[in-house]
């Protein structure tokens, strides 16, 4: 069993607005954030929806934690899962090159074709100078980001880490994914979910929800390995798991088999965010932390998998 | 106490050695050769700059062609690394073995192929998309080796390879893995070439790191992987170590999406951090493998960062960049440069900074111009910096 990690702050944004009023509210919040952040410098202009949801989620997580912005410290880093979120940008950028040659290459759009730009945008806007990492793991990219953050905190490489996933599932991605039979989890729209994580018992600001453990697996028994590793890491016996939530998964039946194989008999609930690829796992963790299972705060197992990158699992416990 | 993390295998594919022959790679670098030449992998005639350092694609033909060039290079370097370490696929405890791949572009060349075909309504290239995802390479390599431990893809711009090795080092140092294969890969493609051209970052002819007349970077490509092992596990199977990873740190500039912080704030912090992580002083560093892209901003920033972090020692330590010879291989660069440090330790030779003929007064450190130099290297530092203010540093040691 390893040290639990405290969820100090949480920010989550879904880009698929239910009503025009929701869209206007989100746009207004973004304007407010950018105006506040630009008070000390040049006006800030974001170019793409994926940046917008990421910046909003980061701002929400940091402000809920009472972290000053800009932060100006190198003990707070960013670990972000991003993969399919930039595929549409890359496709449109290259279509411009195909259509107009060198003149079609936009120097403004080009930086957004590199996966780490979203984490970098967060690091720059909020002046976070710690370790800034981007992981590409498809549906489990956000999970892997949480896993890296948990390790960095436990091993003493970081005091606080902003970690999670962001995506912007666009038409180009859906078309391409459907051609190779990987459209199972794609839903148009986008979203971001970021946690500010700190070590339990450290001097980090107070917060009640906790990530008790994390595990990952790869290969034929990836889900089973991830679940076992996670439960062991959390020090939680299978019988103590109060609920299971799934993020995006490669194959639902494999999840059921792996969960039952681990001796967990409780209901398995599919997260409403399971179509949000890289962001789906962190969103499912946020749902698990925020919703008491059966009226009490009992450990919830969150599971996700990707056809290429393997599986991940986390045990989450909401605060009292 | 952390267990030592040994390097027991090394595989490199570069324009000098498409077959993955380590010694050819090293001899070419030490001889001051340069691989930068006219672009062959796509038609660059419409661009004002037309040079890059490419791997002969003829060498990359695979039995299951058409395969993505990045995947082909990664597979070859990965196989060479495992052979060098004496690790057979499927051997050992698979849950205790993993892989971390650093890449910026993944299978973007395959994505381009798909989009070009779609623009012309050409059928039959959808299979290219299976090799496009960033994570496809790590998955393919892990499957090949039978690893079922951590399988990750890190994308931190030009620091990707360095971060991949650093994160793998931490996995072993913390006791959560016995063997990690880590490194990076990227292939030249039109998407990245056109972007750097639009940003006016490319040289029209040669890459001249730290020179007064430097004109920018050239794209490069390749792959490099190190086999890292827990010392106890390596000893148990009587492996022959090449060196060790003694520290890692990463810091962000938090400054600009495409330009480095002018004073090298983030890189200086990463170098200071890695010295702390490895518990060594600046005076113990015998060689620095610089990022040295040959762009005006990077080379000046890097000089300032090393002065900040090293103090007076900065003036006395030999520092060289291999990008004059190999161009900038993005996700692979940091891993290739870690390999350079290991070979420098092995042979007591540091390679020169190719094309450094007119030193820049603002880059006034010992950048090893002209020819390779004999230096007893016990501890080396490899530094990387990239888009978005990414900075990473690795401490690589000998086995004294």
A229 and A192 fall within a common domain: no
A259 and A149 fall within a common domain: no
- Rounded to a whole number, what is the distance in Å from the CA of A46 to chain B's nearest CA? 12
- Going by their DSSP bridges, the two strands A160-169 and A189-199 should be labelled as antiparallel
What is the tally of structural domains in chain A?
A: 2
Q: What's residue A103's pLDDT? A: 96
Could you tell me if residue A204 is inside a domain?
Answer: no
Taking CB atoms and an 8 Å cutoff, what residues of chain A touch B257? 111, 117, 120-121, 124
Residue A200: pLDDT band with limits 50, 70, 90: low
Interface membership of A269 toward B (CB under 8 Å): no
Interface membership of A221 toward B (CB under 8 Å): yes
Taking CB atoms and an 8 Å cutoff, what residues of chain B touch A218? 98, 139, 142, 147-151
Say if the Cβ atoms of A136 and B95 lie within 8 Å. Answer: no
Residue A177: pLDDT band with limits 50, 70, 90: low
Of A199, A225, A253, the one marking the end of a domain is A199
Say if the Cβ atoms of B148 and A222 lie within 8 Å. Answer: yes
Ranges of residues in chain B whose predicted pLDDT is under 50 = none
ipTM: 0.96
Of A111, A128, A310, Cβ closest to residue B258: A111
Say if the Cβ atoms of B254 and A105 lie within 8 Å. Answer: no
Q: What's residue A291's pLDDT? A: 65
Of A199, A221, A244, the one marking the end of a domain is A199
Taking CB atoms and an 8 Å cutoff, what residues of chain A touch B120? none
Of A83, A217, A221, Cβ closest to residue B135: A83
Interface membership of A114 toward B (CB under 8 Å): yes
A214 and A182 fall within a common domain: no
CATH homologous superfamily, domain B5-236: Thiolase/Chalcone synthase (3.40.47.10)
Residues 6+ away with beta carbon under 8 Å from A31:
none
A117 and A225 fall within a common domain: no
Residues 6+ away with beta carbon under 8 Å from B216:
B49, B200, B201, B202, B203, B204, B207, B294, B295
pLDDT tens-digit series, residues A2-60: 888 999 999 999 877 678 888 888 889 999 999 988 876 677 888 888 999 999 999 99
The CATH number of the domain where A87 resides is what? 3.40.47.10
Among chain A residues, CA nearest to B192 = A110
What residues make up the domain containing A311? 210-317
Q: What's residue A94's pLDDT? A: 95
Q: What's residue A184's pLDDT? A: 46
pLDDT tens-digit series, residues B185-234: 999 999 999 999 999 999 999 999 999 999 999 999 999 999 999 999 99
A217 and A186 fall within a common domain: no
A194 and A215 fall within a common domain: no
Query: Which contacts (CB < 8 Å, 24+ apart) does range B82-85 have?
Result: B82/B9, B82/B11, B82/B145, B82/B181, B82/B227, B83/B9, B83/B11, B84/B8, B84/B9, B84/B10, B84/B11, B84/B22, B84/B227, B85/B8, B85/B9, B85/B227, B85/B229, B85/B239
> How far is Cα B246 from Cα B239, in angstroms, rounded to an integer?
18
> How far is Cα B81 from Cα B252, in angstroms, rounded to an integer?
30
A191 and A304 fall within a common domain: no
Task: State the average pLDDT over residues A81-110.
Answer: 92
The secondary structure of A169-233 as a DSSP string is E-HHHHHHHHHTT--TT--SEEEEEEEEEEETTSSSPP---EEEEEEEE-STTHHHHHHHHHHHH
Active-site residue set of B: 158, 291, 328
Instruction: Quote the crossing angle between the two packed helices A87-100 and B108-119, to the nearest 10°.
Output: 50
Cβ contact A82:A141 at 8 Å? yes
Say if the Cβ atoms of B252 and A106 lie within 8 Å. Answer: no
Interface membership of A195 toward B (CB under 8 Å): no
Q: Taking Cα atoms as reference points, which of B355, B356, B372, B373 lies closest to residue B364?
A: B356
Taking CB atoms and an 8 Å cutoff, what residues of chain A touch B249? 131
HSE, CB side, 13 Å, CA atoms: give it for residue B265.
17
Partners of residue B373 on adjacent β-strands? B350
CATH homologous superfamily, domain B246-397: Thiolase/Chalcone synthase (3.40.47.10)
**What are the sequence ranges of the domains in chain B?**
5-236, 246-397
Say if the Cβ atoms of A83 and B149 lie within 8 Å. Answer: no
Among chain B residues, CA nearest to A152 = B170
Q: What's residue B190's pLDDT? A: 97
Could you tell me if residue A205 is inside a domain?
Answer: no
Interface membership of A274 toward B (CB under 8 Å): no
A167 and A289 fall within a common domain: no
Say if the Cβ atoms of A219 and B148 lie within 8 Å. Answer: yes
Taking CB atoms and an 8 Å cutoff, what residues of chain A touch B112? 94
> How far is Cα A242 from Cα A264, in angstroms, rounded to an integer?
9
A193 and A44 fall within a common domain: yes
Cβ contact B351:B372 at 8 Å? yes
Q: What's residue A173's pLDDT? A: 60
Task: State the average pLDDT over residues A110-125.
Answer: 96
Taking CB atoms and an 8 Å cutoff, what residues of chain B touch A151? 170-171, 174, 176
Residues 6+ away with beta carbon under 8 Å from A181:
none
Among chain A residues, CA nearest to B168 = A148
- Rounded to a whole number, what is the distance in Å from the CA of B374 to chain A's nearest CA? 35
Say if the Cβ atoms of A94 and B48 lie within 8 Å. Answer: no
A130 and A89 fall within a common domain: yes
pLDDT tens-digit series, residues B117-157: 888 877 767 777 888 999 999 999 999 999 999 999 999 99
pLDDT tens-digit series, residues A231-279: 999 999 999 999 999 999 999 999 999 999 999 999 999 998 888 889 9
From residue B223, give the alpha-carbon distance in Å to each of A189, B12, B35, B153, B184.
35, 6, 15, 14, 6
pLDDT tens-digit series, residues A268-294: 999 988 888 899 999 999 999 876 555
From residue B124, give the alpha-carbon distance in Å to each of A118, A176, B61, B129.
33, 13, 19, 11
Residues 6+ away with beta carbon under 8 Å from A100:
none
Among chain A residues, CA nearest to B259 = A111
Q: Which two tokens stand for residue A253?
A: 């039946």
Cβ contact A250:A308 at 8 Å? no
A194 and A242 fall within a common domain: no
Taking CB atoms and an 8 Å cutoff, what residues of chain A touch B47? 102
How many Cβ pairs within 8 Å bridge chains A and B? Answer: 202
Of A135, A168, A199, the one marking the end of a domain is A199
A88 and A30 fall within a common domain: yes
Mean of pLDDT over chain A: 89
Q: How many CB atoms lie within 10 A of CB A23?
A: 13
Task: State the average pLDDT over residues A69-82.
Answer: 95
Cβ contact B120:B351 at 8 Å? no
Residue A202: pLDDT band with limits 50, 70, 90: low
């Amino acid at each position: 069993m390893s040290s639990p990690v405290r969820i100090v702050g949480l920010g989550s944004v879904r880009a698929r607005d239910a009503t025009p009023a929701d869209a206007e509210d989100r746009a207004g919040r973004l304007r407010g954030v950018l105006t506040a952040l630009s008070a000390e410098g040049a006006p800030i202009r974001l170019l793409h929806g994926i940046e917008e949801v990421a910046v909003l989620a980061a701002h929400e997580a940091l402000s809920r934690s009472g972290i000053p912005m800009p932060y100006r410290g190198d003990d707070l880093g960013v670990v972000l899962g991003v993969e399919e979120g930039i595929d549409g940008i890359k496709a449109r950028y290259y279509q411009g090159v195909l259509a107009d040659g060198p003149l079609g290459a936009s120097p403004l759009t080009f930086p957004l074709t590199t996966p780490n730009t979203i984490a970098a945008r967060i690091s720059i806007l909020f002046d976070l100078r710690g370790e800034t990492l981007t992981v590409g793991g498809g549906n489990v990219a956000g999970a892997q980001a949480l896993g890296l953050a948990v390790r960095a905190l436990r091993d003493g490489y970081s005091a606080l880490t902003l970690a999670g996933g962001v995506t912007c599932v666009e038409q180009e991605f859906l078309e391409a994914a459907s051609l190779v039979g990987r459209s199972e989890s794609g839903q148009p729209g986008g979203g971001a979910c970021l946690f500010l994580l700190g070590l339990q018992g450290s001097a980090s600001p107070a917060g009640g929800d906790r990530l008790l453990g994390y595990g990952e697996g790869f290969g034929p028994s990836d889900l089973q390995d991830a679940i076992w590793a996670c439960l062991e890491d959390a020090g939680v016996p299978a019988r103590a798991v109060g609920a299971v939530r799934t993020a995006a998964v490669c194959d639902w039946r494999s999840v059921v088999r792996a969960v039952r194989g681990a001796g967990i008999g409780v209901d398995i609930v599919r997260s409403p965010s399971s179509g949000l690829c890289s962001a789906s796992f962190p969103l499912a963790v946020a749902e698990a932390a925020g919703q008491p299972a059966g009226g009490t705060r009992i450990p919830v197992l969150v599971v996700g998998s990707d056809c290429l990158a393997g599986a991940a699992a986390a045990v989450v416990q909401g605060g009292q | 106490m952390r267990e030592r993390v040994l390097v027991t295998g090394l595989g490199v594919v570069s324009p000098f050695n498409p077959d993955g022959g380590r010694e050819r790679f090293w001899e070419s670098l030490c001889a001051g050769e340069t691989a930068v030449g006219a672009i062959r992998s796509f038609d660059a005639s419409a661009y004002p700059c037309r040079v890059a350092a490419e791997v002969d694609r003829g060498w990359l033909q695979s039995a299951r062609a058409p395969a993505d060039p990045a995947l082909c290079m990664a597979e070859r370097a990965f196989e060479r690394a495992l052979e060098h370490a004496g690790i057979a696929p499927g051997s050992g405890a698979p849950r205790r073995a993993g892989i971390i791949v650093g890449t910026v572009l993944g299978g973007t060349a395959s994505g381009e192929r798909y989009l070009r075909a779609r623009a012309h309504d050409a059928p039959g290239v959808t299979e290219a998309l299976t090799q496009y995802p960033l994570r496809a390479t790590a998955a393919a390599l892990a499957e090949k080796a039978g690893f079922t431990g951590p399988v990750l893809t890190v994308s931190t711009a030009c620091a990707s390879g360095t971060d991949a090795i650093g994160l793998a080092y931490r996995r072993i140092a913390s006791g959560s893995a016995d063997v990690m294969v880590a490194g990076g890969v990227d292939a030249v493609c039109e998407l990245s070439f056109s972007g750097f051209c639009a940003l006016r970052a490319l040289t029209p002819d040669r890459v001249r790191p730290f020179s007064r007349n430097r004109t920018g970077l050239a794209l490069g490509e390749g792959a490099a992987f190190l086999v890292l092992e827990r010392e106890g596990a390596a000893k148990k199977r009587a492996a022959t170590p090449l060196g060790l990873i003694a520290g890692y740190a990463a810091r962000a500039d938090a400054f600009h999406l495409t330009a480095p912080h002018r004073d090298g704030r983030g890189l200086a912090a990463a170098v200071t951090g890695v010295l702390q992580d490895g518990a060594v002083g600046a005076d113990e560093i015998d060689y620095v493998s610089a990022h040295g892209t040959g762009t005006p901003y990077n080379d000046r920033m890097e000089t300032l960062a090393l002065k900040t972090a090293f103090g007076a020692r900065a003036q006395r330590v030999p520092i060289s960049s291999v990008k004059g010879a190999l161009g900038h291989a993005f996700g692979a660069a940091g891993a290739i440069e870690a390999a350079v440090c290991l070979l420098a330790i092995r042979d007591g030779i540091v390679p020169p900074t190719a094309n450094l003929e007119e030193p820049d007064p603002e880059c006034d450190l010992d950048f090893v111009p002209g020819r390779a130099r004999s230096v007893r290297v016990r501890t080396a530092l490899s530094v990387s910096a990239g888009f978005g203010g990414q900075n990473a540093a690795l401490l690589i040691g000998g086995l004294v």
